[in-house]
Amino acid sequence: MILRQLSKARGVAGDEGQVRKIIKEEAARHADEIRIDALGNLVAHRDGDPDLPRLMIAAHMDEVGLMVTHIGKDGLLKFLKVGGIDDRVLPSTVVQVGKEGVVGVIATKPALTPQQRSTVNSSEEMFIDIGAADRKTAEKEVSPGDYVTFCTDFEDFGDDRLKGRAFDDRAGCAMLLEILSAEHQVPLSAVFTVQEEVGLRGAYVAAWDVRPDMALVFEGTTCADTPGSDEQLHSTTLGAGPALGMMDRSSIAHPGMLAQLMRIAEQENIPYQLRRSTAGGNDAGPIHLNRSGIPTATISTPCRYIHSPVSVLKRSDYENGVRLVTAFLQSIEGGFRP
């Protein structure tokens, strides 16, 4: 499963090279043209009927992570967060630092009083311990500016579930590769974007370059369907199918595309759900505002614990997402005016 390779690859926003290499090798087997733009987006074109609308399908390669900013005299590393990460998930997390993947542990000052033990320390008060005795020793292994990723294995577990790192949005990237590998009449531009987690940056330039007639964004989205969270606040539910986004902070789904996706899902008996949260945003934001406007919709794979050291998804949600997009492509082969 290509998702295994993608999840294990390290690619914090701005450093997507490992992920891009895997995708390029896989996409080259099916694309008619591949190029990488100046920002690092990978665009894989597949020719089709020129009389049909060109569809841009997009997913981002980058993940949230950390960056080393300072090495102390004691050999401990200070860092900044790259992307949105809840400080509560950081202490005691095992990480990999730099291109060589030096193993480290995130730690924080000890909690000596009841008040300290009930307070979540800021990431600014944390550090990474790589086992170095002093600065000189640490500098042999790492440098300021090195990226830091969580150290997480990819595994099947439980009831048809997968756990791994960076399912937001390596799940979307894997789905794009599956769609790209199948036969379609619709001209496709599969775009694997960079720096989504730090401002949706790659999608701006990619959409300008590709000039699609319409776009589908594949995203990993939060579930929040666990104990302690009110049901009405669940963004999505694990196992209920791919989630169609109606609105978030960056975009409102094109009503024609959304209606078509829902109609197809019901006709083909493909489970789906509507994303019930407007929090956050994704690459649909910059894409739909590009040039004179691009009809755009989002299909998300529900993922528990995103933007943390480990994520969980249900295989059936992923597979039904691929089925839904495949059926959507077939539906517009007779032409589609969103």
The predicted pLDDT at position 118 comes to 74
Instruction: Specify the long-range contacts of residues 265-270, CB closer than 8 Å, at least 24 apart.
Output: 265/241, 265/324, 265/327, 267/327, 268/323, 268/324, 268/327, 270/241, 270/320, 270/323, 270/324, 270/327
Rounded mean pLDDT of 185-212?
95
pLDDT digits 0-9 by tens, 290-326: 988 999 999 999 999 999 999 999 999 999 999 999 9
Name which of 143, 123, 147, 13 is nearest 67 in CA terms.
Answer: 147
Residues 131 and 201 occupy one common structural domain: no
Is the per-residue pLDDT at 232 higher than 60? no
The predicted pLDDT at position 281 comes to 85
Provide the domain limits for residue 219: 2-63+165-331
What does the radius of gyration of the chain's CA atoms come to, in whole angstroms? 21
Residues 58 and 73 occupy one common structural domain: no
Instruction: Name the region of 185 (left: φ>0; alpha: ψ -120 to 50; beta: rest).
Output: alpha
Q: Which residue among 93, 119, 150 closes a domain?
A: 150
Residues 139 and 261 occupy one common structural domain: no
The predicted pLDDT at position 121 comes to 85
The predicted pLDDT at position 337 comes to 59
The predicted pLDDT at position 227 comes to 66
> Terminal CA-to-CA distance of the chain, rounded, Å?
34
The predicted pLDDT at position 253 comes to 92
Residues 181 and 247 occupy one common structural domain: yes
The predicted pLDDT at position 248 comes to 85
Is the per-residue pLDDT at 233 higher than 60? no
3-state helix, strand, coil in the chain (%, to 5): 30, 25, 45
Cα–Cα dist 41/191, whole Å: 7
- Indicate whether 337 belongs to any domain: no
pLDDT digits 0-9 by tens, 129-159: 999 999 999 999 999 999 999 999 999 999 8
What CATH code is carried by the domain that includes residue 28? 3.40.630.10
Buried b (16+ CB within 10 A) or exposed e, 130-159: bebeeeeebeebbeeebbbbbbbebeeeee
Residues 180 and 170 occupy one common structural domain: yes
Residues 183 and 281 occupy one common structural domain: yes
Report yes or no: 92 and 106 within 8 Å, Cβ to Cβ.
Answer: yes
pLDDT band at residue 167 under the 50/70/90 scheme? very high
Residues 103 and 200 occupy one common structural domain: no
pLDDT digits 0-9 by tens, 261-272: 999 999 999 999
Chain-centroid distance of CA 53 in Å reads 26
The predicted pLDDT at position 120 comes to 81
**β 243-244/296-303 pair status:** antiparallel
Average pLDDT over the chain, rounded to an integer: 92
Residues 121 and 33 occupy one common structural domain: no
Please tell me whether the overall predicted TM-score, pTM, comes out greater than 0.85 for this model. yes
Element holding 298 (H helix, E strand): strand 296-303
pLDDT band at residue 111 under the 50/70/90 scheme? low
pLDDT band at residue 109 under the 50/70/90 scheme? confident
The predicted pLDDT at position 277 comes to 75
Is the per-residue pLDDT at 336 higher than 80? no
Instruction: Give catalytic status of residue 333 as yes or no.
Output: no
- Indicate whether 156 belongs to any domain: no
Widest pairwise Cα distance in the chain = 70
- Indicate whether 81 belongs to any domain: yes
pLDDT band at residue 119 under the 50/70/90 scheme? confident
What CATH code is carried by the domain that includes residue 90? 2.40.30.40
Element holding 173 (H helix, E strand): helix 167-181
The predicted pLDDT at position 249 comes to 86
Chain-centroid distance of CA 74 in Å reads 35
Annotated active-site residue in 26, 141, 196, 219:
196
Q: Tokens for 297, please give them.
A: 């919709």
- Indicate whether 108 belongs to any domain: yes
Residues 191 and 287 occupy one common structural domain: yes
Is the per-residue pLDDT at 252 higher than 70? yes
Residues 84 and 43 occupy one common structural domain: no
The strand pairing partners of 80, in sequence order, are 67
Is the per-residue pLDDT at 230 higher than 70? no
Report which of residues 215 and 233 the model is more confident about.
215
Is the per-residue pLDDT at 83 higher than 60? yes
Q: 166: how many CB neighbours lie within 10 A of its CB?
A: 33
Q: Tokens for 197, please give them.
A: 């987690």
Residues 139 and 35 occupy one common structural domain: no
Residue 5 exposed, middle or buried by CB count within 10 Å (0-12, 13-18, 19+):
middle
